[in-house]
Structure 1
Amino acid sequence: MTAEQQTLLEKSYKDFTRNGALLSDEAKEELRKIDAALAVVKLKFGENVLAETQAYQLHLTDAADLSGLPEGTIEAAHDLAKSLDKEGWIFTLDYPSYIPFVTYADKRELRKEIALAAGRKAFQANEHNNEKNVLEIVNLRHQRAQLLGYSSHANFILEERMAQRPEKVNAFLQDLLDKAKPAALKEFQELQDFAKKLDGIEQLEKWDSAYYAEKLKQQKFDLDDEKLKPYFNLAYVLAGAFDVAKQLYGLSFTEVDTIDKYHEDVQTFEVRDENDAFVAIFYADFFPRKGKRNGAWMTSYKPQYWKDGQEERPHVSIVCNFTKPTASRPSLLTFNEVTTLFHEFGHALHGILADTTYPTLSGTSVFWDFVELPSQIMENWCYEEACLANFAKHYETAEVIPMALVDKIKESASFQEGMATLRQISFGLLDMGWHGANPSLIEKVKDFERTQFASTSLYPDVADNAMSTSFSHIFDGGYSSGYYSYKWAEVLDADAFDFFKQEGIFNRAIGEKFKTNILAKGGTEHPMVLYKRFRGQEPRVEPLLKRAGLL
């Protein structure tokens, strides 16, 4: 057998055994009941989070309350109020509304109000409370794992991951914690001192974090997201991502209007290679709307595969929640949103460039702690002058972003990276806490969270807020026992991009190596085998620590 056939055989066997094929009839029936219950409760969890997100509105009628907010955010809030036949401005918990508000609104009480509302999602005494659902999900998952012969849900999940064991994940997170915490504590003290000096704030709270971080960033780097946004017209940024794919992999993207789509906002593209051969259909769904969940993701409507001598090419989509164009301006992105688009586009390339025989091994059908490598490595190009010059152009004047701003973007890339790393580690530890041991004795979601966050918390706890009740990644998504994989993949992406940097970020030969050994191969071989074939060695943590300023 080929390596791909051997992998398929092992994967198919495990797909059966990990879903109960070797169990007794009685145990199979029990597994069916657990799976049915999980399907229902996970759906309910997601519905509750969405309902809570959409239920909240911060309705302002006094223009003085808008102090500090960017023009585009104010205009969007006014448009929303107008669409609901209301006066003034309406802000919501959707990210394009929420994030600018907590980052720029000068009125501390209003930042507090909307931040507390976000933290209370599905943790209130109403029909959308998720506390029981969280406990039910983790207990059902544990029962399922035990029924299949595993000591915990994490043991079950990690068998099919690069990390393999909970002990390895916990050691990985602890090692990063040891390296990041001194930097995080130093950064937090600097932020606290800054807020006190600026506004006399004696105790920094969670709703102060983004606001004073942005102010400090502006002071240190004279870099304001709102000054950057005019250079990041969504249409140009998307074209910039397409250009990276063209230079590295020879792909071209042409917008077409002959493809069915599920909403008028969706854009559709035909993807072809250098020989004009059809490669894929690419969909882009960029704007919030009623009923659409927050966040950003990539999905595949049809995988690539071969059957009976005929190749089927993939249909791939990326979904985001960027600010919609208004009457006076196009959709302008924050720099964080630029990296989000490049991130999801990296996932899309994993699907678009798939070249495997079997659909179950195609594209992003890889170990979960390997799937973020193609997405996270793409973010690196956003910080490179040679890439930014191709798309970062002022939407009114077409002026290319000044290189002084590019230098500041690069300088600020590691700003508060210790705190950001600590935050990611805290989510990973919470995930492993819920899934790495028997959860049957856990009675209170909030009490359990406090113990899990003990080693990583910087801000005072908020009694009526909880993370788990709206932690969709691990309770309604595919990241249970896998949230660590974001940092794990950062180690991979920093090491891989270091290779590109050595040879040139648009080096076609390195691009071909990455395409051939990583993107095209999907899940046909063990990811470490594929990575070493691309890189010539196992990944090193030093490039990540260097990039993050933690060395």
Structure 2
Amino acid sequence: MKTRVLAPIALAIALAGCQSDNASQVQAPLAAEQNINMDNPFFSDFTTPYGIPPFEKIKKSHYLPAFEHGITLSRNEINAIANNSAAPTFENTVEAMEKAGDFLNTVSNVFYGLTGSMSDAEMRAINKEISPKLSALGDDISLNPALFQRVKAVYQQKDQLNLRADQKTLLETTYKGFIRGGANLNEADKNTLRQLNEKLSKLSLKFGENLLHETNSFEMVIDNKADLDGLPEDIIAAAAVTATERGHDGKWVFTTHRPSKNPFLTYSTNRKLRETIYKGYTERGNNDDEYDNKKIASELASLRYQKAKLLGYKTHANFVLDNATAKTPENVFKLLDKVWPAALKQAKLEAADMQKMIDAEGGNFELAAWDWWYYAEKIRKARYDLDAAATKPYFSLESTLKGVFFTAEKLWGVTFKERSDLPKYHEDVRTFEVYDKDGSYVGIFMTDHFVRESKRGGAWMSSFRKQYRMYGEDVTPIIYNVLNYPRPVGDNPTLLTFDQASTLFHEFGHAIQGLLSDGYYRSQTGTALPRDYVEYPSQVMENWMTEPEVLSNFARHYQTGEVIPMELVEKIQAAGKFNQGFATTEYLAAALLDMNWHTLETAELQDAAKFEKDIISKIGLIDTIAPRYRTGYFSHIFAGGYSSGYYGYLWSNTYDADTWLAFKENGIFDHTTAELYRKHVLETGGKEDPAMMYRRFRGQDPKVEPLLERRGLTGK
């Protein structure tokens, strides 16, 4: 799954509106402070170009003092608002809260940005120490009775205040945030909530630490070259580099990182080794040892239920979805149940096709989960004459990045200028200045493409600073994409599979929303959207990659410069619905596993292995497919922000499929459609209800039929 994961910044920052930073605001509140370590870059303005964090000057020892100071400042700022003797107004209460916490926000954006891509034992220790303190600050804010009474007083006047649409939204979300944060609880229940939040914070961190260890510790060492049969040369070369890095000179090492695991499962002719690496991946966090995540997952589900009940919700899913476009678990299950039967039926047909091929080859074995990728690729070749390896020479990382930029320029006139002299946190990072169609400066875009052990798996977008104007000046965004592509070997460039190239377009879809954001309050800009809507712009972006007009611009052979042949393009498009039974089913199984964990109506701890097995049996998932994420390594929901929200990719996909119909009907680069999409989707962020903003763009609500048709699940 092409994931976008945001830093787990405490509720304090959300309530204070600190979902981006503003370096120009850092210095002012520090003037009266004494004994500040001025060697710490966080204690002064960032004087770097564009206010990019001075990464080369920031030491790990700087984080804890900066966090501690930021927490103190934030608490003082919030207390000043709560104890203001003036009558509460929108400006001196709600807007003041939005402007509080700049310093803490700056530190958080840098630290949590790097814990995802530059993690080590020291960074994890800092995270473990500071996380409970941030959680406590969040509770101190959300459970502050004087502050809540001021917000409530403003909220009760909302119809007489003549507020702008974004101000109304800010007031609504701030008030609702207090209710959801426990402001209406009695003192005993408030103390219980604090304890629950602290436990949840610690357990989530432990889940993520365990998974990182499990992922990085697995290695499959191959010392017989014959066991590499079927693998492309670039994959073999990358495995040799990994072996050297891990102290196995002259051998080949494969890991559970996707750039290593996926090609092995797809191309290796060695069935036993395919089973080894597959089980190495699917058993992460699922072993009865000190890194076992099963009990942690069960405890998290129990604590979340207890918190939801305390706050007046039936289940954790009800609590989460109250802030989503889906609104209720029933609506989520309705969509999942509508797609599941068609997806499962198609997956069974695909499995039958593979078994026929196995039998025809004299395989004399039953199809297993570790065979699926291998035989899917063989059938793809036979049915569509499409060899995934044959497409890779046309999708070098460099050319695909150019294709992304070409698409953005054709749609909105946005251009990118690379800079090699700007601060960056790792040598792999590339930095671009971004300019609008009128030549005006938009912001900074950073990319971090290559896999490394300090980086968690997956792909995501976030920001070191978001766009906003609430201080009377245009604050420009600093956006970054992080992916996990294989590092180039020798003089050869990194060549991407079709799916990897699609991921680049996907994550850029998030990035362009962050870059083109046009809002006043920072808590509302960029990707500040419900989980089940935020994936929509990124999914839309993927569509352009398969269009001949786009492919002909960037998909060039890395050696000859030859444009990808139209015959190959037609094969890619013809194969677009291939294996969608598998892809949709493994995703839906994970989404259903998430929803079942979080619609539990009991605090009783579950036997996680049995619970997962029962859910899989209940939905009828076939043995040859595992959920995309099993409980032990489902970090999206147990260590990230997607609990009761993994369904959101499919929910967003309904918006995506309906949007793409508009572009196909009017022209994929139609100026009017592109500008409407930019105005009502990309620029708006969370200023108003997303469903309403979508209707302004499209003139209707999305329907599920285009999604089913796209995935080949309509039976047509």
Q: Which residue pairs with 1:478 in the alignment?
A: 641
TM-score by length of 2: 0.75
Asked whether 1:488 is paired with 2:651, we answer: yes
Query: Cα distance, 1:257 vs. partner?
Result: 2.0
Per-residue displacement from partner, 1:37-72 (whole Å, max 9, x unpaired)? 111110110011110011111111110000001100
Residue of 520, 545, 549 corresponding to 1:386: 549
Q: Which residue pairs with 1:459 in the alignment?
A: 623
Per-residue displacement from partner, 1:439-461 (whole Å, max 9, x unpaired)? 43453111111121122412258
Residue of 394, 401, 408 corresponding to 1:231: 394
Question: May I ask how many residue pairs the two structures share in their alignment?
Answer: 549
Partner-residue secondary structure (3-state), 1:321: strand
Q: Which residue pairs with 1:59 in the alignment?
A: 221
Give structure 2 stretches of 5+ with no counterpart: 1-162
Instruction: Give the root-mean-square deviation of aligned CA atoms.
Output: 1.4
Query: Cα distance, 1:415 vs. partner?
Result: 0.3
Q: Which amino acid aligns with 1:82?
A: T
Note closer, same or farther for the CA distance 1:172–1:5 as it changes in structure 2 (3 Å cut): same
Asked whether 1:206 is paired with 2:357, we answer: no
Q: Is the 8 A contact 1:123 1:466 kept in 2?
A: no
Residue of 307, 312, 317 corresponding to 1:154: 317
Per-residue displacement from partner, 1:302-347 (whole Å, max 9, x unpaired)? 1111123201011111100001111131011000001101000001
CA distance in structure 1 between the aligned counterparts of 2:406 and 2:178, rounded to whole angstroms: 42
Per-residue displacement from partner, 1:89-122 (whole Å, max 9, x unpaired)? 1111111111101111100000001111111101
Note closer, same or farther for the CA distance 1:460–1:407 as it changes in structure 2 (3 Å cut): closer
Partner-residue secondary structure (3-state), 2:703: coil
Q: Which residue pairs with 1:47 in the alignment?
A: 209
Asked whether 1:277 is paired with 2:440, we answer: yes
Residue of 673, 676, 680 corresponding to 1:510: 673
Partner-residue secondary structure (3-state), 2:447: strand
Give structure 1 stretches of 5+ with no counterpart: none
Q: Is the 8 A contact 1:442 1:448 kept in 2?
A: no
Q: Is the 8 A contact 1:188 1:458 kept in 2?
A: no
CA distance in structure 2 between the aligned counterparts of 1:173 and 1:27, rounded to whole angstroms: 35
Per-residue displacement from partner, 1:177-207 (whole Å, max 9, x unpaired)? 1332322222221122222223424311110
Q: Is the 8 A contact 2:380 2:386 kept in 1?
A: yes
Q: Which amino acid aligns with 1:69?
A: L
Per-residue displacement from partner, 1:376-412 (whole Å, max 9, x unpaired)? 0011111111111111000011100001110011111
Query: Cα distance, 1:508 vs. partner?
Result: 1.7
Q: Which amino acid aligns with 1:379?
A: E
Query: Cα distance, 1:438 vs. partner?
Result: 2.0
Note closer, same or farther for the CA distance 1:175–1:73 as it changes in structure 2 (3 Å cut): same
Asked whether 1:468 is paired with 2:605, we answer: no
Q: Is the 8 A contact 2:582 2:625 kept in 1?
A: no
CA distance in structure 1 between the aligned counterparts of 2:670 and 2:364, rounded to whole angstroms: 49
Partner-residue secondary structure (3-state), 2:559: coil
Q: Which residue pairs with 1:416 in the alignment?
A: 579
CA distance in structure 1 between the aligned counterparts of 2:433 and 2:674, rounded to whole angstroms: 21
CA distance in structure 1 between the aligned counterparts of 2:361 and 2:655, rounded to whole angstroms: 40
Residue of 401, 407, 426 corresponding to 2:570: 407
Q: Is the 8 A contact 2:372 2:624 kept in 1?
A: no
Q: Which residue pairs with 1:185 in the alignment?
A: 348
CA distance in structure 1 between the aligned counterparts of 2:412 and 2:176, rounded to whole angstroms: 34
Residue of 266, 288, 306 corresponding to 2:469: 306
Q: Which residue pairs with 2:379 in the alignment?
A: 216
Query: Cα distance, 1:161 vs. partner?
Result: 0.7
Asked whether 1:258 is paired with 2:421, we answer: yes
CA distance in structure 2 between the aligned counterparts of 1:338 and 1:199, rounded to whole angstroms: 35
Name whichever of 432-441 and 51-60 sits farther off.
432-441
Residue of 52, 69, 88 corresponding to 2:231: 69
CA distance in structure 1 between the aligned counterparts of 2:363 and 2:247, rounded to whole angstroms: 39
CA distance in structure 1 between the aligned counterparts of 2:224 and 2:352, rounded to whole angstroms: 35
Per-residue displacement from partner, 1:500-540 (whole Å, max 9, x unpaired)? 00111111211111000000000111111011110111112
CA distance in structure 1 between the aligned counterparts of 2:232 and 2:194, rounded to whole angstroms: 52
Per-residue displacement from partner, 1:12-58 (whole Å, max 9, x unpaired)? 11122211122122211111111111111101100111100111111
Q: Which amino acid aligns with 1:30?
A: T
CA distance in structure 1 between the aligned counterparts of 2:527 and 2:189, rounded to whole angstroms: 32
Partner-residue secondary structure (3-state), 1:7: helix
Per-residue displacement from partner, 1:201-253 (whole Å, max 9, x unpaired)? 43111100101111111111111121111000101101110111111111111
Q: Is the 8 A contact 1:422 1:456 kept in 2?
A: no
Note closer, same or farther for the CA distance 1:210–1:536 as it changes in structure 2 (3 Å cut): same
Q: Which residue pairs with 2:96 in the alignment?
A: none
CA distance in structure 2 between the aligned counterparts of 1:118 and 1:183, rounded to whole angstroms: 25
CA distance in structure 2 between the aligned counterparts of 1:83 and 1:370, rounded to whole angstroms: 41
Q: Which residue pairs with 1:4 in the alignment?
A: 166
Partner-residue secondary structure (3-state), 1:513: helix
CA distance in structure 1 between the aligned counterparts of 2:247 and 2:279, rounded to whole angstroms: 26
Q: Which residue pairs with 1:427 in the alignment?
A: 590
Q: Which amino acid aligns with 2:492?
A: R
Q: Which amino acid aligns with 1:9?
A: L
Q: Which residue pairs with 1:548 in the alignment?
A: 711
Q: Is the 8 A contact 2:466 2:522 kept in 1?
A: yes
Note closer, same or farther for the CA distance 1:439–1:386 as it changes in structure 2 (3 Å cut): farther
Q: Which amino acid aligns with 1:217?
A: R
- Pairs within 5 Å for 1:361-376: 361-376=524-539
Q: Which amino acid aligns with 2:195?
A: K
Partner-residue secondary structure (3-state), 1:183: helix
Q: Which amino acid aligns with 1:181?
A: L
Name whichever of 20-29 and 219-228 sits farther off.
20-29
